[in-house]
Amino acid sequence: MTRMRWRAYRETFNRTFPFMLVLLLLATILTGSIVPPGNQLERARAFTRMMEFDYLTWMLEALGQKLGRTALDAGGYLPTEERSEVVLDHLQLIGQIWQVKAEINDIYADPAVSDPLAASAELGEQLDDLQMQRNWQQPLAESILEAQVNQVVAEYGLSLGGQSIPPVLYHITPPPSALIISPHEVIRVDQNISVSPDLTTEESAILEEQVDSALNVSSLVVGIGGIGLYPTMVMETTDINWLAEVVAHEWVHNYLTLRPLGFNYLTSPELRIMNEMVASIAGKELGQAVVRRFYPAYLPIPPSPFGRLIGPQQPQAADFDFRAEMHTTRIHTDELLAQGKIEEAEMYMELRRSFLWDNGYHIRKLNQAYFAFYGAYADDSGQPSSAAGEDPVATAVRALYDQSKNLADFINQLSWMASFEDLQHAVQAGG
């Protein structure tokens, strides 16, 4: 009995020690990568401070849950064929929750319903039950998908002794929104401040107006799909393709954080684009491999909602090309700004926003901040017609990918780069 108990303790230690070691490393690096507050940032935070997202509290709570679950390793005791079913059942449960919420919203929106609280009481009880089931299932479902992504990462040669460093960890939660601040005269991310995901559209518009007026800038509150914290923060979804891709995408960000490219994420716009391009390319390839390996019935993979990080892409008529139109808009806007015609550029963007709205793309605000944010998520398909325009950084990243022997070679080359010049030299050298 003593020997068996010692073996159990040893196995638990072996599982948790790499996890705790990586947490210590990440805590050190993340603390060291905080940008000293500048005057503009402090002036902007005068408006955002009371609504900013509390990352520290979220990370401590999420890490506590993950550490306790890692020690238990509940998913490891399930037969292999049942693990994927747990994940799919959980996604189906989320879909049921969304459906009930939609029905409740319809009741409250129906002018013919005089007492929506009473009319929705039964649905409310059903929603409570479903949410309790979700909260019970979520840790197990997350641990299974984490292990599956880790297995694929190891097969791609991106692990150490079969263990990804850092371990693949994610947690489903509403991600914060981001207040993006750009100068008027050039499209550039000067500030990116995380604010509460609970801000209403009206509150977001008021915040933007306050910041624009006080700082003489262009700002925009945007939603995001995931954040490369540790654990990764991922929005709720019912799509296993999207989920696998985002979990892999954000893990790549965590992987890069331990290396110069990720450590210098905020150093320059070029490094930010390089970072996002690597994560997008690798996330797609790794995510597809996860689905192919563990969820083959869900292939071929449909167009991923992850493209929403580049801009709204609702299905529209075949004769309207959103990316091409955004590319045209960005190129002409850049030309006007380069000529110092700021007011003309802003009027042009508003006219284009109306045009896009008429064609079914409901963009609330199209300004310098919009392009500054979405331009960082350059099109990883190699197509020139992205919102980022003719981006030499994205072109160079794609060229290096094409020259690389495999995905691991591509990631590892870029991960140790600290400037756009490093990338240019690597491409010129043929990878």
Token pair of 62, please? 């999420």
Asked whether residue 3 is domain-assigned, the answer is no
Q: Is the pLDDT of residue 357 over 50?
A: yes
Q: Measuring CA to CA, which residue among 426, 427, 414, 412 is closest to residue 158?
A: 412
When comparing pLDDT for 13 and 276, which is higher? Answer: 276
pLDDT digits (tens, 9 = 90+) for 395-431: 899 999 999 999 999 999 999 999 999 999 999 987 6
Asked whether residue 2 is domain-assigned, the answer is no
> Cis bond leading into 296, ω under 30°?
no
C-alpha pair distances (Å), 105 with each of 108, 109, 208 = 5, 6, 28
Q: How many domains does the chain have?
A: 1
CA distance 329 to 355: 11
By the 8 A CB rule, do 204 and 73 touch? no
Token pair of 383, please? 């197509």
In one letter, which amino acid is 338?
A
Q: What is the pLDDT of residue 6?
A: 41
Asked whether residue 18 is domain-assigned, the answer is no
Whole-prediction pTM: 0.69
Q: What mean pLDDT, rounded, does the chain reach?
A: 82
Q: What is the pLDDT of residue 430?
A: 78
Asked whether residue 88 is domain-assigned, the answer is no
When comparing pLDDT for 7 and 130, which is higher? Answer: 130
Please give the average per-residue pLDDT across 21-36, as a whole number.
45
Query: Which residues span the domain enclosing 386?
Result: 177-428
Please give the average per-residue pLDDT across 166-185, as a whole number.
91
Q: Is the pLDDT of residue 200 over 90?
A: no
When comparing pLDDT for 259 and 363, which is higher? Answer: 259
pLDDT digits (tens, 9 = 90+) for 246-303: 999 999 999 999 999 998 988 888 898 899 899 999 999 999 999 999 999 998 644 4
Residues contacting 213, CB < 8 A, separation 6+? none
DSSP class of residue 5?
A: H
Asked whether residue 47 is domain-assigned, the answer is no
Please give the average per-residue pLDDT across 14-35, as a whole number.
46
DSSP class of residue 425?
A: H
pLDDT digits (tens, 9 = 90+) for 106-133: 888 787 888 988 998 999 999 999 999 9
CA distance 154 to 160: 8
Q: Is the pLDDT of residue 222 over 80?
A: yes
Asked whether residue 122 is domain-assigned, the answer is no
Q: pLDDT class for 37, splitting at 50, 70, 90? A: very low
In one letter, which amino acid is 283?
G
